[in-house]
Structure 1
Amino acid sequence: MAGDKVILLDFYPSMFGMRARVALSVKGVEYEYREEDLRNKSQLLLESNPVHKKIPVLIHNGKPVCESLIIVEYIDEMYDAGKKVWTTQGEEQEAGKKEFVEILKQLESELGEKPFFGGDNFGFVDVALITFSTWFHTYETLGNFSIKEHCPKLIEWVKRCLEIGEVSKALAEPNKIYDFALALKSKFAAQ
């Protein structure tokens, strides 16, 4: 983000905004802080987060990033733990599987009894997370475990998401992901 224009729309007592400020500070990102009056929201906030109209909103080179950063943390952690499942062996792989399953359990806990993360309808958080399900077959096959065994509600959520035609059409096929992962794994093994 060096040299990029970064703006944070925030409200000082917001713990979600504090997450954004901590993350930006820890990464050493320079940004412009704009305090929002939540009773009289700015036009920039309304345009940047038109659905929920909430802070924080990070605007990076004119593109808004909305919602709680905890979801970004989940996604980041899921990617790293998932990678350990298919790229390592032995104790390291077992540790990766355990870490990965714990992250999935956290997600399942956030889902609760709702059909989708936002409630009754497929929404932003579902969009952010459903793409990871395309890798589940690879993780299970190469890690020799069952996600459904540990997180049945999460797998039911995946099925509900895939029943939405637009969603299933847009996702990569799990078998192609598996073939890609095998090719990548053999390439790394050869190096």
Structure 2
Amino acid sequence: MAGVKSDGSDSGLVLLDVFGSPFAQRVSIALAEKGLAYERAEQDLTAKSDLLRRSNPVHGKVPVLLHDGRPVCESLAILQYLDEAFPGTPPLLPPVSDPYARAGARFWGEYADRLHFCGKRLWLSAPGGDGGEAEPGARAEMATVLRALEAELGEGDFFGGAAFGYVDVAAAPFAAWFLTYERHGGPSVAEECPALAAWAARCSRRESVAANVYPPEKVHELVQEYRRWMLGRK
């Protein structure tokens, strides 16, 4: 995982994040794509800091991007903010001259969140993470989400076509979770959505993603640890 990014400039950016958060990873990927320097301030969500509470008083969660001390909350809002606040950097969203494409990118970026929420239902409910039965309907819902994303991807290398952009940044952290979803009763992406699996492989080879997202086996290990912790609390 990346710690502090630096391109030799002073961007006034501090990222409040937490170990392994795919939502925070979105922001780290975006910052890397834009070549923006930032400081990373990892948070403890079991004992939230005053800084986090002040920066995100509504939800008290990460990621939060501080720009010259001013907080921007929620990962997708941060991605859009970076495009607007740093117009001289490579854009994530389609050009302002194409509002239809920009609206579509925002829609699919938000839709990618379903991978996380449906996936969480799978890995919290399937016994032991050994392919057992998951929560009824979770597998079917995950299959629907994956097929919808594959249809939107089409024949392009990335969701924006040839260019890695907003939707790719939003969805790439969850591609590392495909193995975990499958091992907890979800569909096999490689078998059922081969184009999406190929996209995930392309993303994993991209420097911004490889430096900021754990490989699939590591994600699975972390999920198993979290499951044991959750079960131990009951």
Shift in CA distance, 176/49, structure 1 to aligned 2, threshold 3 Å? same
User: How much has 1:173 moved relative to structure 2?
Assistant: 2.2
Measure the CA separation in 2 of the matches of 1:99 and 1:172.
25
CA contact (8 A) 2:179 2:216 kept: yes
Structure 1, residues 144-181: CA drift from partner, whole Å, max 9, x if none? Answer: 64121111100011112223233222211222211111
Match of 2:107 among 61, 70, 94: 70
Of 193, 199, 204, 1:151 maps to 193
Distance in 2, matches of 1:187 and 1:71, equals 33
* Corresponding residue number in structure 2 for 1:53: 96
TM, length-normalised to structure 2: 0.52
Mark the runs of 5 or more structure 1 residues left unpaired by the alignment: 4-45, 57-65
Q: Which residue of 1 aligns with 2:224?
A: 182
**Bigger radius of gyration:** 1
List, as ranges, runs of 4+ consecutive aligned residues in structure 1 with deviation greater than 3 Å. Answer: 46-51, 66-69, 89-92
Cα-Cα RMSD: 3.0
Structure 1 length-normalised TM: 0.62
1:100 aligns with 2:142: yes
CA distances 1:64-100 after superposition (whole Å, capped 9, x unpaired): xx87442243123221111111111376534111101
Overall identity of the aligned pairs, in %: 34
Task: Assess, with a 3 A threshold, how the Cα gap between structure 1 residues 118 and 144 changes in structure 2: closer, same or farther.
Answer: closer
Which consecutive residues of structure 2, in runs of 5 or more, have no partner in the other structure?
1-55, 59-82, 127-131
Instruction: Give deviations 1:12-64, integer Å, cap 9, x for gaps.
Output: xxxxxxxxxxxxxxxxxxxxxxxxxxxxxxxxxx94584422687xxxxxxxx
Separation of aligned partners in 1, 2:207 and 2:106: 28
Q: Is the 8 A contact 2:133 2:185 kept in 1?
A: no
Aligned equivalents of 1:151, 1:92: Cα separation in 2? 20
- Counterpart position of 2:52: none
Q: 2:130 matched to 1:87?
A: no
Once residues 210 and 183 of structure 2 are traced to their aligned partners in structure 1, the CA distance between those partners, rounded to angstroms, is 21
Q: Which has the higher contact order (CA 8 A, sep 6+)?
A: 2
Q: Which amino acid aligns with 1:189?
A: L
Secondary structure of the residue aligned to 2:214 is coil
